[in-house]
Amino acid sequence: LETQVLTLESAAQNAETFSAMNAGKNAMKTIRDDMGIEKVDDLMDDIREEMEMANEISDAIAQPVDPIAADEDELLAELEQMGADDLEAELLAAPHAKNETLLPAVPDSKLKVDKEEAEEMRKLE
């Protein structure tokens, strides 16, 4: 008798689960019917077009109104490039122009070494 009661309770739970799953499926179907893949694709295309239009508008607004100002920007860029080229040439040619080798200064006397350090060095060799 207890087994039969447990089986009936399990069947009732299964029926409730099935009903809930079926309701969820129906809700998803209703949403999907309202929003098909074609509508989503169209929406995404519209969004892309609007973004492209916004970029074109931003680019148009960013254009200088005064043609002389545009020429000035080009001249400043050219001047900066010339300065960079001159600096690069100067840096590359500086040590070799006088055939000099730039080395650090060295002492003219023999360095003093502690006896302990000398002994440790001998052990390491």
**What tens digit of pLDDT does each residue of 71-94 get?**
777 888 888 988 888 877 777 765
State the Rg of the chain over Cα. Answer: 42
Per-residue pLDDT averaged across 111-121, rounded? 81
Check: pTM over 0.85? Answer yes or no.
no
pLDDT the model gives residue 36: 78
DSSP class of residue 108 equals S
Who contacts 73 (Cβ-Cβ below 8 Å, separation ≥6)?
A: 64
DSSP class of residue 98 equals T
